[in-house]
Amino acid sequence: MPERTASMTAHDKAVEQIRESYAAIPDGAAPRLAKATTNLFRFREPAKTAKLSARDLDQVIEVDPETMTAEVQGMTTYENLVDATLPYGLMPYVVPQLKTITLGGAVTGLGIESSSFRDGLPHESVEELEVLTGDGRVVIARADNEHADLFRSFPNSYGTLGYALRIRIKLAPVKPFVRLTHVRFTDAAKCMLAMQEICQSGEYDGERVDFVDGTYFGPDELYVTVGTFADKAPYASDYTGMRIYYQSLRTRTRDWLTIRDYLWRWDTDWFWCSRAFGVQQPLVRSLLPRRWLRSDVYRRLVGLDQRYGVTARLDRWRNNPVQESVIQDVEVPIERGAEFLEFFQEQVGMTPVWMCPLKATGEWSLYPLEPGRLYVNFGFWGMVPLPRGAHDGHHNRLIENAVHELEGHKSLYSTSFYEREEFWRLYNGDAYWPVKRSYDPGGRLLDLYEKCVRGR
């Protein structure tokens, strides 16, 4: 296959380039990947760092429709991968909801979507990893080879063990359309029970279910959305222009989308967070090019706001309360989901909240979800006024405590406040440190606590 040979030759050249770039970083400077976009939300001043060039590591090497796999470079975005796989009638088992999440980012961090109730998290469909390790080696890690310890520990390591250079990932067949059914509930406990029954049976109203997620607008307004593949559709809605997907949940019980538009249904408005920039106002929206209605544009705006303190200055000028950024994804066992929502409504009060069921299909060292147990990912992203006399971190600490009291876990892509001993207990330091010493014995890369909690 000449195309694969040429792509692998280009990949090998890019691997050599990043290895040389890594070797050239001076001692004492923590390497950081030079990325055009990011979906992390840890806004802290970093320690002395050096940019690690990942030039030419953002391509799809090959899609193999016979084996239903793809060879992908680590900096490839899911948007580019989906564009490469859909012509073959295939998609990754789990496609995280934002276009510019990279394969390497989803595997070394965490990703989730509405197929996760059946297929787990993105790393669970990975067959092989090529990794630049902390000690400068390039190794091939699989579940069945001498680097199996690295393979099992790589998810949730956030670049502290190494960087994914190439990933072989399994693909699943798709159909051209997805039929959506939005089911309203007025009670959180009944909503959780219904979601659990749908996920466990894989059916709703006597038909197969391919996707499940939900949205919480308030204690008496929750929706479970089930999606089913279809060969044909009477119409296909378009939520990439004036119409807004999350608002449609409240006005219609049935909808149809193309598979591509379904995968990116949340990206156009960054779920609902685009409202902070006024782009859900019809006049403003009508004046914007469609290419600006996407998550990476909003993320850049947030970064600029954090850098220059525009929102904070306006709040002071208007004499508004000081606000705390509450941007988190947490996993709670579904049988305790209603308890979490009650806590969240009383103590935080932010709406909407995304609800996405997931089930880990195997054991992964650093994110110890119980295999086979059904959890719900609750995602919430926005600003919350601080109570008088409270300090930044007030709500986030409350959430951390509640999640772990409810036997859950939280993703580490945003701010965390754990004490060191508690952190290593929750995120399996006993498994992490032997792997860290094997692949980064000199501590060239920050450890997981230093990077994700202290934000260095």
Residue 91's CATH number:
3.30.465.10
User: 3-class secondary structure for the chain?
Assistant: CHHHHHHHHHHHHHHHHHHHHHHCCCCCCEEEECCCCCCCECCCCCCCEEEECCCCCCCEEEEECCCCEEEEECCCEHHHHHHHHHHHCEEECCCCCCCCCEHHHHHHCCCCCCCHHHHCCHHHHEEEEEEEECCCCEEEECCCCCCHHHHHHCCCCCCCCEEEEEEEEEEEECCCEEEEEEEEECCHHHHHHHHHHHHHHCEECCEECCEEEEEEEECCEEEEEEEEEECCCCCCCCCCCCCCHHHHCCCCCEEEEEHHHHHCCCCCCCCCHHHHHCCCCHHHHHHCCHHHCCHHHHHHHHHHHHHHCHHHHHHHHCCCCCEEEEEEEEEEEHHHHHHHHHHHHHHCCCCCEEEEEEECCCCCCCCCCCCCCEEEEEEEEEEEECCCCCCCCHHHHHHHHHHHHCCCEECCCECCCCCHHHHHHHCCHHHHHHHHHHHCCCCCCCCHHHHHCCCC
Q: Are 254 and 105 found together in one domain?
A: no
In a domain, 271, yes or no: no
Overall size of the chain counted in residues:
456
Q: Which residue has the tokens 């393979």?
A: 151
Cβ(33)–Cβ(133) under 8 Å? no
Q: Is residue 298 part of a domain?
A: no
When pLDDT is cut at 50, 70 and 90, the band that residue 36 belongs to is low
Single out the residue in 174, 191, 211 at which a domain terminates. Answer: 174
Q: Pick 152 or 50 by higher pLDDT.
A: 152
Q: What percent of the chain has pLDDT over 70?
A: 93
Query: Based on the domain organization, do 189 and 233 belong to the same domain?
Result: yes
> Within this chain, do residues 259 and 153 fall inside the same structural domain, yes or no?
no
Average pLDDT in the 169-197 region? 98
Closest CA to 133 of 445, 412, 429, 431: 445
Same domain, 48 and 164: yes
Burial environment of residue 36 by CB neighbours within 10 A (0 to 12, 13 to 18, 19 or more) = exposed
Nearest to 140 by CA among 159, 160, 126: 126
Please indicate, yes or no, if residue 141 is contained in any of the structural domains. Answer: yes
Q: What CA–CA distance (Å, rounded) separates 103 from 95?
A: 10
Judgement on whether residues 17 and 64 belong to the same structural domain of the protein? yes
- Note whether 144 and 216 are same-domain residues: no
pLDDT band with cut points at 50, 70 and 90 for residue 110: confident
**Same domain for 131 and 76:** yes
**28/131 same-domain check:** yes
68-72, 90-94, 410-414, 440-444: which range is least confident on average? 410-414
Instruction: Tell me: pLDDT of 456 over 70.
Output: no
Q: Are strands 49-52 and 30-33 parallel, antiparallel or unpaired?
A: parallel
So what's the pLDDT on residue 47?
A: 52
Asked if residue 101 and residue 17 are part of one domain, the reply reads yes
Give a yes or no: residue 272 inside a domain. Answer: no
d(C-alpha 367, C-alpha 426), whole Å? 8
| Comparison of pLDDT for 305 and 44, the residue scoring more | 305
Asked if 17 and 122 sit in the same domain, the reply is: yes
353: which 2 tokens?
């909240």
Q: Establish if 160 belongs to a structural domain.
A: yes
369 in a structural domain? yes
Average pLDDT over every residue of 297-315: 74
- Which of residues 119, 146, 174 is at a domain's end? 174
Within-domain flag for 122:
yes
pLDDT at 4: 72
Same domain, 186 and 147: no
* Domain count for the chain: 3
Q: Which of 125, 151, 174 is the last residue of a domain?
A: 174
- Residue 413, domain CATH: 3.30.70.2520
275, part of any domain: no
Model pLDDT for residues 349-394, shown as the tens digit of each residue: 999 999 999 998 888 889 888 999 999 999 999 889 999 889 989 9
Using pLDDT thresholds of 50, 70 and 90, give the confidence band for residue 33.
confident
Statement to judge: residues 188 and 170 lie in one domain: no
Question: Quick one: tokens of 335?
Answer: 């049988």
pLDDT at position 322, please? Answer: 81
Rg of the chain (C-alpha set) = 22
Mean pLDDT, the chain, integer = 91
Of residues 43 and 235, which shows the higher confidence score?
A: 235
Q: Which domain holds residue 47?
A: 2-174
